[in-house]
Amino acid sequence: MAKVLLLNGSPHANGCTAAALKEMIRVFEAEGVETELIHVGNKDIRGCIACGSCMKTGKCAFNDPVNEVAARFEAADGLVIGSPVYYASPNGTLLSFVDRLFYSTHFSKHMKVGAAVVSARRGGNTASFDVLNKYFSISGMPIATATYWNQVHGFTAEDVEKDAEGLQTMRNLARNMVFLMKVIADGKEKYGLPEVEHQAFTSFPDGK
């Protein structure tokens, strides 16, 4: 059975972002996909300090929810990162969390399916959406899309429930994620995963 991990980056456990993620969970469960929703937006999460400890130990030096979620991420076939929009950017706590989650974990994320979901009262959604998608694209994770950018609008969860197009987008996004996970699983069994090269590292230390 496929498994999707969903991160709620809002400080509010039952706010606008949660409403969007719950709409996706309904589809996942109907499709027989296991889900786990983790609320990270209200946690005390500090940013990465570039200490390099994770290069030796395979985990972050700060023993907090980042390390707890890492094993769940490794076991998942898909990851949904949901965030409210603050000043046309995702929640800072969430960004600190995913910075450290992606950087400190050494397991391959290649071909895990990723999806970003954002919620705003009015504007800044697409800028935030772009920020979150960067985590997937640098990790070799196929990015699931829908029938519009993955966003909902509203000041409260009740407002989001009235956003018919936004909720429809969440359902279509979830169905597309399910399809991609199935296709990747079949392809892995029949053909194996694509080869990944890691040798090249460009830094131009001499300025040339």
Contact 107, 34 (CB under 8 A): no
Q: What is the pLDDT of residue 207?
A: 57
What is the assigned CATH class of domain 3-191? alpha beta
Q: CB burial class (10 A; 0-12, 13-18, 19+) of residue 42? A: middle
Residues 82, 115 contacting (CB under 8 angstroms): no
Q: What is the pLDDT of residue 135?
A: 98
CB-based contact 173:183 (threshold 8 Å): no
Give the pLDDT means over successive 10-residue stretches in the chain (208 positions): 97 97 98 98 96 94 95 98 97 98 96 98 96 98 98 98 98 98 96 90 74
What pLDDT is recorded for position 202?
86
Which pLDDT belongs to residue 170?
98
pTM: 0.95
Q: How many CA atoms lie within 13 A of 65 on its CB side?
A: 18
